Chain A
Amino acid sequence: MKKIFSRPESLTAKRNIYCSGCGHGIVHRLIAEVIDELGIREKTIGVAPVGCAVFAYDYWNFDVTEAAHGRPPAVATGIKRVLPDRVVFTYQGDGDLAAIGTAETVHAANRGENITIIFVNNGVYGMTGGQMAPTTLIAQKTTTTPLGRDPKIAGYPIKISEALGQLEGSVYIERVTVNSPKNTIKAKRAIKKAFQNQIQNKGFSLVEVLSMCPIAWGVNPVEALKWIEQKMIPVFPLGVIKDKDLTAKGNL
């Protein structure tokens, strides 16, 4: 019998701490599969964030560090500028990337740093107990918006990927999700492209992954998949936001 499915070499055997129905495990695996497929495990350096994925270094079987909250793009910049032939990526949540680390994100993109960012957007601060994220939807209840996010008090869900797409330095930005097998396959394709871009020295690539957080959303794991479809995608539409390859050909 032929073995057709197994753990990627880039993933450790350690059991993760993620809640049932959480999207992080899927995204970790997609990254590991891509790194295996590109044959870059031994030259990859990952930067883990502060947030639920803070322990990501336990789950990946390659060199990983952990940055202060919001600082992964700056740390990745330091790494990549010293070792330009290595593959450097950051894995960041919405709070890390689009709140406390907005400056680092914007300026890494604007400098056109040749790094890859995997941005996991689940609209909530999971690790600290379900507080409002910069990407929390209008009227979404969180532990710091108990009556629902009121834009008069708390502003609007930030579309950071669209904003980053406006910068000359960014090369490729796509929003994907992992709420269905079909979407997960598309997500993997985007992640792979974001890594390939770096290998080909194209520059700053970011993939935003809409991801499930059933616990903080107060729904069960199956409902969380629909939640993405019904609530998140209308605000955060899927698809390629920027691709200099396509714009060069006049296709975007």
Chain B
Amino acid sequence: MENRILMQGNHAVGEGGLQGGCQAYFGYPITPQNELTQYMAKRMVEERKVFIQAESELAAINMVFGASLVGARAMTTSSSPGISLKQEGISYMVGCELPGVIVNIQRGGPGLGNIAGAQGDYFQATRGGGHGDYYLIVLAPDSVQEMYDLTREAFDLADKYRNPVIVLADGILGQMLEPVKIVKKNPMSNFSAKKDWILDGCKGRKPRMVRSLLMGEGVLEEHNLKLGKKYERMRKSEVRVETDNLEDAEVALVGYGISARICKEAMEIARQKGIKVGLVRPITLWPFPEKVIAENVDRLKAFLVIEMSLGQMVEDVRLATNGKCPVYFYGRTGGGIPEVDVIVERIEKILK
């Protein structure tokens, strides 16, 4: 029997980070991700790695900047309001081509909102989030196992592209308990060996500078075009998506994260009723799995997008269908959870 441990989602993110080679963690308390910072406070010290409870999310992300700058695999975690504060630092990290992992255990917004799980930060995560012209890989786990796996893998992706990676989960995933198979791997991947850009003192080499200020005429454009090529490579190589029952489906549900779990249940109930329902679950929200949507526009009668927001990912689904297939939306906001019965009713209504 394989060895599995019952873990809370927040703890799984922390342990995944450690197995991904996280050498420095910087956090600031915010619900519903406090168990994660507390977990790291214990585990990072046990592993003789860097842990700081920062004075703010701004400070935490800038500590990640500093740690990444000198070659460490670094991580910070927070929830929606705190992630807004981190956007400044994330933008600078992209400009400076510094890797790093940022985890958002989303809660209800806008403003202080509430502490329930929500999916209102999709736009922020998938459109860069801070100022400037950039993208990040956004990973969306839908189970505690994936909280662990995707956080671990996020470090490799960050180093591979020298770009921050966001793990976008929510308060429900953060709080719930599920069995996790712990996959240990060499915590330092082969990407780390190639960090020939870090600032660690100029012994035996010319001094280096890491900066995002590029004032010369055309210099910033050239830099951004270089970054643009990186985003293109991500679009080509990093799309991850789970599909189910699309072969004979008339309606495809599209949901990510905890919403996808609800979609799976709705799909099963609909199938028991003889309704042919399939599922598209984006695992990378950026790059968005537009190909799998586009490939199915002719065969499907409709897409039904399920989110815990007023409708954000639905826009990406519409873009991918390019008007060739109707796209419907059902969402709950402010911490509301989409109901399985309502999803099944909507599917029946669409097919009427």
Given A44-B201, A64-B209, verify A78-B63 contact (CB < 8 Å): yes
Report the nearest B residue to A85, measured CB to CB: B201
A103 to B70, CA, bound (A): 23
Most buried by B among A55, A79, A80, A111: A79
Which residues on A sit within 8 Å (CB–CB) of B199? 45, 63-65, 79
Chain A at the B interface: SS class: helix
Query: Which of chain A's residues have a CB closer than 8 A to the CB of B211?
Result: 48, 57, 65-66
In the assembled complex, the CB of A3 is this many whole angstroms from the nearest CB of chain B, namely 24
- Nearest neighbor of A68 in chain B, beta-carbon distance: B92
Query: Does B173 reach chain A (CB closer than 8 Å)?
Result: no
The A/B interface has a contact count, at CB < 8 Å, of 126
> With an 8 A cutoff between CB atoms, is A61 at the interface?
yes
Verify A107–B59 contact, CB threshold 8 A. yes
| Shortest CB distance B18–A (Å) | 16
Query: In whole angstroms, what is the CA distance A60 to B64 when docked?
Result: 24
Nearest neighbor of B63 in chain A, beta-carbon distance:
A78
Q: CB of A231 within 8 A of chain B? A: no
Measured between beta carbons, the chain B residues less than 8 angstroms from A81 are 24, 50, 52, 63, 67
- By the criterion CB–CB under 8 Å, are A63 and B65 in contact? no
Q: Decide: A65 near B69, CB < 8 A? Known: A74-B63, A103-B55.
A: yes
Q: Is the CB of A45 within 8 A of B70?
A: yes
Residues B201 and A82 in contact, CB atoms below 8 Å apart: no
Give the size of the chain B interface in residues (CB under 8 angstroms): 40
The answer to the question of A210 belonging to the interface, with a C-beta cut-off of 8 Å to chain B, is no
Give the interface size bracket for A toward B: 35 or more
Q: Which residues of B contact A62 (CB under 8 A)?
A: 201-202, 207
B54 close to A (CB within 8 Å): yes
Q: Contact at B96–A65, with CB atoms within 8 Å?
A: yes
Within 8 A of B (CB), among A61-99: 61-68, 71, 74-83, 86
Asked if A226 is an interface residue, CB under 8 A from chain B, the answer is no
Q: How far is the CA of A161 from the CA of B195 in the complex (A)?
A: 38
- Is A71 in contact with B26, judged by CB distance below 8 angstroms? no
Chain A residues near B157: list those with CB within 8 A: none
* Bound Cα distance from A61 to B206, whole angstroms: 8
Residue of A nearest to B64 (CB): A78
Flag whether B88 is at the interface (Cβ < 8 A).
yes
| A-contact bits for B71-104, CB 8 A (1 contact / 0 none) | 1101000000000000011001000100000000
The 10 closest A-B pairs by CB, nearest first: A78-B66, A74-B62, A107-B55, A78-B63, A42-B203, A75-B66, A78-B67, A66-B211, A63-B199, A43-B201
Known interface pairs A63-B207, A103-B56, A104-B58; 7 further A-B residue pairs with C-beta atoms within 8 A, sorted by A's residue number: A43-B201, A66-B213, A68-B89, A74-B59, A79-B66, A82-B70, A82-B72
Give the A-binding residues of B (Cβ under 8 A).
23-24, 26, 50, 52, 54-56, 58-60, 62-72, 74, 88-89, 92, 96, 199-204, 207-213
Pairs A–B under 8 Å by Cβ, sample size 10: A45-B200, A63-B199, A64-B207, A67-B92, A71-B58, A71-B62, A79-B67, A82-B70, A82-B72, A86-B70
